[in-house]
């Protein structure tokens, strides 16, 4: 029993890092730009499909395919911002909610038309043979993905904290008008931020797609879980989202192990609701309460 729990926890941490990566893309756009991007799941999905396209159709290697996928997804994100978000800047925020929802429908159907509705497999260079440490079973692929996720998250946090563009992004998040007055090109920064958010979720899609498979509707659930994580982690806090992601992964693993798989998806929402009701400002110290 204890062994099972321990294994579930380790497993959960690995899965959680990927959740965190996905949620990070959402957080960038939601937490920093205060934009509810209902198409974020589709950006995640496109990341997976671009990776598939790059590695299967173009024949590129595993890692270059992931990078190409990130860049391509970023491009889609920037385009989306230009067409569906920026024209609605001065409107009530639920308009953007709806316009991004429209974009999500378009992207999902487009992927279906281009690649067909069946799941596709991305070949991965990792073997399935388990790495056994004590009673714990791991795989090299999972470790790789965990490492990549971790590196990406840390780099992004550093980027936000220490680069000029990062500071501009944070300024924009605080107060758009003040940022404009400071000479920050708000439109350009917003584009860049959208692109980065898209690239992050796209990376998650590419990594996960390689581990499992890609299909047009794969973005729906990660979107919702991403919301849960951003809310739990405290909007705008990279470390908060990371911790929340790990916790979610572990909670899901334990639920699957000790209750039933059917309720696994429930965990994200139940946990989030509990957190919101007890500590509305999220788990992070630097989180903000409410918008």
Partner 1 sequence: MSRAATWLAWLLALAALPALMPNPYVQYVVNSALILAFATIGLNIIFGYAGQHAFGFPVFFGVGAYASALLSIDAALPVGLAIPAGALVAGGISALIGFPSFRLRGIYFGVATIAFSYVIYIIAQNWVDLTHGPMGIPLVPPLHLLPDRAAFGVSRDVQTRLIVVSTIAIVIFMLDRILRSPIGRAWLAIRENENLASSLGIAPLRYQMAAFVTGAVISGLGGGFYAHYVGFVSPTELGFHYIGVVFIMLIAGGTSTLAGPLIGSVVFGVLPELLRVAEMARNLLLGVILLLCIVAMPEGLAGIWKRLQAARARHGRGSLDAPIPVVTHVEEKIAQIAPSLSTSGSLEIRDLTKQFDGLTALQDVSFSIQTGEVVGLIGPNGAGKTTLFNVITGVLPPTSGSVFYCGREIGGNTPHAIAALGITRTYQITSVFPELTAAENVMVATHLWSCHNPFAALVRSKRFRTAEAAVGRTAEMALALVGLQASRHIPAGVLSYGDQRRLEVAVALATGARFILLDEPAAGLNAGETEELCGLIRRLRSAGFTVVVIEHDMRMVMRLCDRIIVINYGRKIFDGSPKEAAVHPEVVDAYLGAGTSNA
Partner 2 sequence: MKVFTPLRMKLAIVACSVLLGGSLANAVETVKLGIGLSMTGPLAFLSQQYLQGMKAAVEVVNKAGGVGGGRMLELVVRDHKGVPSEAVAVTKRLIEEDKATIVDIDLPSTVAIAAEAVTKESKVPQIAGFTFAPAAVQQGNTFFFRACTTSDLIGDALAQSIVADKNNKTIAMLAPNDDYGRSAIKSLSEAIARAGGPKVVYADYYERTQSDFSAVLLKMKSLNPDSLFIDVRWPASLTVLKQMVEVGLKKPLFSSVNFYNAKLAEQAGLLLEGAQMSVAWAPVFTDPASVEFVKAYEAMFKQTPDDSASLGWTTTMVAAQALKAAGPGFDSEALRKALSNVNYKSPQGPVKFDAKGDASVAAHVLRFKDGGYQLVR
What residues make contact with partner 2 under the rule CB under 8 A?
Answer: 1, 3-4, 7-8, 11-12, 15, 112, 116-121, 128-130, 132, 137, 139, 208, 211-213, 216-218, 220-221, 252-253, 255-258, 260-262, 264-265
Judged by beta carbon, residue 75 or residue 265, the one nearer partner 1 is 265
* From the list partner 2, partner 1, none, partner contacted by residue 104 (C-beta under 5 to 8 A by kind): partner 1
> Which one of the spans 11-19, 68-76, 110-118, 177-185 is the region binding partner 1 (CB under 8 A)?
110-118
CB 70 → partner 1: shortest distance, Å?
24
> Which one of the spans 14-22, 70-78, 148-156, 267-275 is the region binding partner 1 (CB under 8 A)?
267-275
289 belongs to the binding site for partner 1 (CB under 8 A) = yes
Judged by beta carbon, residue 22 or residue 70, the one nearer partner 1 is 22
How many residues bind partner 1 (CB under 8 A)? The answer is 45
Judged by beta carbon, residue 79 or residue 256, the one nearer partner 2 is 256
272 belongs to the binding site for partner 1 (CB under 8 A) = yes
Secondary structure of the chain in HEC code, one letter for each residue: CHHHHHHHHHHHHHHHHHHHHHHHHHHHHHHHHCCCCCCHHHHHHHHHHHHHHHHHHCCCCHHHHHHHHHHHHHHHHHHHHHHHHHHHCCCCHHHHHHHHHHHHHHHHHHHHHHHCCCCECCCCCCCCCCEEECCEEECHHHHHHHHHHHHHHHHHHHHHHHCHHHHHHHHHHHCHHHHHHCCCCHHHHHHHHHHHHHHHHHHHHHHHHHHCCECCCCCHHHHHHHHHHHHHHCCCCHHHHHHHHHHHHHHHHHHHHHCCHHHHHHHHHHHHHHHHHHCCCCCCCCCCCCC
* From the list partner 2, partner 1, none, partner contacted by residue 168 (C-beta under 5 to 8 A by kind): none
Q: Which of 63, 71, 89, 102: binder of partner 1 (CB under 8 A)?
A: 102
């Amino acid at each position: 029993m204890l062994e099972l729990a321990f294994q579930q926890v380790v497993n959960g941490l690995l899965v959680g890092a990927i959740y965190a990566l996905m949620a990070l893309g959402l957080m960038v756009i939601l937490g920093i730009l205060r934009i509810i991007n209902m198409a974020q799941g589709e950006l995640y999905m496109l990341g997976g499909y671009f990776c598939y396209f790059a590695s299967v159709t173009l024949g590129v290697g595993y890692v270059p395919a992931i990078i190409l996928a990130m860049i391509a997804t970023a491009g889609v994100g920037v385009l989306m911002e230009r067409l569906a978000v920026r024209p609605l800047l001065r409107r009530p925020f639920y308009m953007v909610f709806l316009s991004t929802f429209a974009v999500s429908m378009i992207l999902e159907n487009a992927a279906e038309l281009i690649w067909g509705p069946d799941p596709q497999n991305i070949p991965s260079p990792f073997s399935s043979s388990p790495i056994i440490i004590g009673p714990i079973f791991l795989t090299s692929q999972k470790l790789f993905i965990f490492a990549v996720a971790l590196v990406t998250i840390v780099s992004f946090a550093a980027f936000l904290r220490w680069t000029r563009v990062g500071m501009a992004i944070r300024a924009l998040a605080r107060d758009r008008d003040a940022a404009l007055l400071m000479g920050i090109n708000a439109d350009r920064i917003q584009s860049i931020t959208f692109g980065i958010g898209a690239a992050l979720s796209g990376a998650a899609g590419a990594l996960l797609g390689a581990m499992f498979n890609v299909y047009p509707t794969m973005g729906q659930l990660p979107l919702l879980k991403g919301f849960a994580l951003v809310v739990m982690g405290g909007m705008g806090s990279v470390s908060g989202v990371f911790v929340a992601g790990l916790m979610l992964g572990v909670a899901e693993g334990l639920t699957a192990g000790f209750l039933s798989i059917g309720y696994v998806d429930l965990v994200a929402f139940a946990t989030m609701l509990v957190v919101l009701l007890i500590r509305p400002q999220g788990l992070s110290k630097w989180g903000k309460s409410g918008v």
